[in-house]
Amino acid sequence: MNARALLAVPLLFFAIYPAAAQQENSPLQSTPEAGKPAVLTHEQMVELHADILMAEKDYEGAVKSYESLLSNDKTDARVLNKIGVACEQLGELHTAEHYFKRSEKADKTFASPLNNLGTVEYSKKNYGKAIHYYLKAVKLRDNLGAVYSNLGYAYFGKKEYVEAMHAFTEALAIDPDVFSNHGGMGSILQQRTSTDPGLFYFLVAKTYAQSANAEEAAHYLKLARDDGYKDFLSAQTDSAFAKVIKDPRVQEVLVVPPSYEGNKKTAQN
């Protein structure tokens, strides 16, 4: 499944945001002395092994490996957060929430568990609580597109569309590929489902259009159209599309009728 198709999956999906690896002191970031090979400690080797298990989607094995590290330090915020990520991937939201809260308590300056607590609340449709956590994460670290993307999803869930677009705009300014990122060994969960896919795709198309990205604007406008969003033709007069409206790719989406229209005509005949 390609990166774009991930957004079209109507099931709960979370991407482990790769940029998060840059904010954490993972075993992969050890800097050896000049002229000497890197030598990992036993704990670093265990964590690296657990990270590999996560990448291989062996979440149960990863949990066991991460938990073995807690025997030395039960307040390691980074490890606690990683266990929470693995538990959430297993669908054990209550357990994941427990570890995220332990991680947040252990390090009040760590943005990842706050973001991840937001994803837990989002999955419960507690959009207001999700927004609360995402905003706290942004205050601690405002250069992660995934957090702003998640914030946009939560605003969208509350039907606060202006705020959602603002958050999406911030996300794209930080990371132009934020909506197609997937995989990696980081520890920031990224939301991938919405309450109204058609309208969601249309708002994402508008966000890309405002940044003059005609290719992505056309792609998400097509997704909105094909998902049955009835007002996708409003792009023709919406000022947000002014920078891309004459682009042939956008025009093709607006001119070519969606596949379901053909099905309707066939059914009527």
pLDDT tens digits for range 117-131: 999 999 999 999 999
- Residue 18 CB-half CA count within 13 A: 10
Whether the pLDDT of residue 191 is over 70: the answer is: yes
pLDDT in tens, 36-54: 667 889 999 999 999 999 9
C-beta contacts of 218-226 below 8 A and 24+ residues apart: 218/244, 218/247, 218/249, 218/250, 218/252, 218/253, 219/4, 221/250, 221/253, 221/254, 222/253, 223/7, 223/8, 223/197, 224/198, 224/199, 225/253, 225/258, 226/258, 226/259, 226/260
Average pLDDT, the chain: 85
pLDDT in tens, 200-222: 999 999 999 999 999 999 999 99
3-state secondary structure of 122: helix
| pTM for this prediction | 0.81
Residue 37 exposed, middle or buried by CB count within 10 Å (0-12, 13-18, 19+): exposed
pLDDT bin (cut points 50, 70, 90) of residue 31 is low
